[in-house]
Structure 1
């Protein structure tokens, strides 16, 4: 079904790359091309910088969250204290045997 759709062909040039070393370009054209390339580079750099900053903040928040949760969970861990208290109470309730 998809092969029955006629393909459109166009004679328009498609994003042809301009060679800067080509002798047919004037100095003004080369200067303009450099300005456009620099503007595109700055635009891409700003997007990457923003994206990198957001990624860094997200990773930092994740690391700090894990670090904080670890300290919180360790401080809440009173299992050993509870076991010691149970052992003391069990020893106190046992009958005392042995020589006086």
Structure 2
């Protein structure tokens, strides 16, 4: 798109240049570096935001698994207590001649 001719006469359009092939002045090279630096700053802000959101999502999933693990372990204690009560009931129950 940048290489297309302008639609209006006299309108200026940015053209692609290769700084290695074309001889550019020191000021032009500094300007190119400055523009590239500004573009990198914009990109890093977007990436940083995405990284923070992704990190928070992964952290939330990890905390959810951690919390569910504690919840399920606490439920296992209840099952152990029920097993102990059933064992006591079997021991106190009527004796048969099979023993």
**Could you state the TM-score of these two structures normalised by the residue count of structure 2?**
0.73
CA distances 1:46-100 after superposition (whole Å, capped 9, x unpaired)? 1111111111111011011101110111112222220110120122122387xxx
1:84 matches 2:84: yes
Structure 2: give runs of 5+ residues left out of the alignment.
6-13
The residue aligned with 1:39 is: 38
Structure 1: give runs of 5+ residues left out of the alignment.
1-10
Once residues 83 and 24 of structure 1 are traced to their aligned partners in structure 2, the CA distance between those partners, rounded to angstroms, is: 86
Q: How far apart are residue 16 of structure 1 and its match?
A: 5.3
Once residues 24 and 96 of structure 1 are traced to their aligned partners in structure 2, the CA distance between those partners, rounded to angstroms, is: 106
Equivalent of 1:12, from 4, 10, 21?
A: 4
